[in-house]
Homo-oligomer: A and B are copies of this chain.
Amino acid sequence: MAITLGPNRYGKAEIRMVHVDRTTPSHVLTDLNVSVALSGDLDAAHTVGDNSAVLPTDTQKNTVYAFAAEHGVGAIEDFGLRLARHFVTTPSITRAVVTIEAYPWRRLGPHSFQRDGGESRTARITVADGGEHVISGVTGLVLMNTTDSEFVGFIKDRYTTLAETTDRILATSVTAAWRHAPAGPAGDPAEATATPTAPDADWNTSYSTARQALSDAFTGTYSRALQETLFAMGQAVLGTGKGLAEVRLSLPNRHHFLVDTAPFGLSNEGTVFHADDRPYGLIEATVRDDELPEAPQAWTS
User: What is A's interface to B at a CB cutoff of 8 Å?
Assistant: 1-22, 27, 29, 31, 35, 37, 42, 45-59, 61-63, 65-66, 68-70, 90, 92, 105, 108-109, 111-119, 140-148, 151-155, 157-162, 169, 215, 218-220, 223-228, 230-231, 234-235, 238-239, 246, 252-253, 256, 259, 261, 263-291, 301
Chain B residues near A160: list those with CB within 8 A. 56, 58-59, 62
- Contact (Cβ within 8 A) A69 B264: yes
- Contact (Cβ within 8 A) B20 A285: no
- Contact (Cβ within 8 A) A267 B69: yes
- Contact (Cβ within 8 A) B277 A277: yes
- Which residue of B13, B53, B155, B158 is within 8 Å of A279 (Cβ)? B13
- The CA of A256 and the CA of B281, in the complex, are separated in Å by 21
- The CA of A7 and the CA of B299, in the complex, are separated in Å by 14
Given contacts A63-B159, A69-B259, could you give 15 more A-B pairs where the C-beta distance is less than 8 Å?
A: A7-B285, A12-B279, A13-B281, A13-B282, A18-B273, A18-B274, A46-B225, A46-B228, A51-B155, A55-B154, A62-B161, A66-B158, A66-B266, A112-B144, A117-B118
- Contact (Cβ within 8 A) B1 A283: no
Residue of B nearest to A60 (CB): B159
- Which residue of B4, B13, B113, B284 is within 8 Å of A252 (Cβ)? B13
- Contact (Cβ within 8 A) A45 B227: yes
Q: List 14 A-B contacts (CB under 8 A).
A: A8-B286, A9-B285, A10-B283, A13-B252, A16-B275, A22-B270, A46-B225, A49-B228, A57-B279, A65-B259, A66-B261, A113-B144, A117-B118, A277-B277
- The CA of A59 and the CA of B159, in the complex, are separated in Å by 6
- Contact (Cβ within 8 A) A10 B66: no
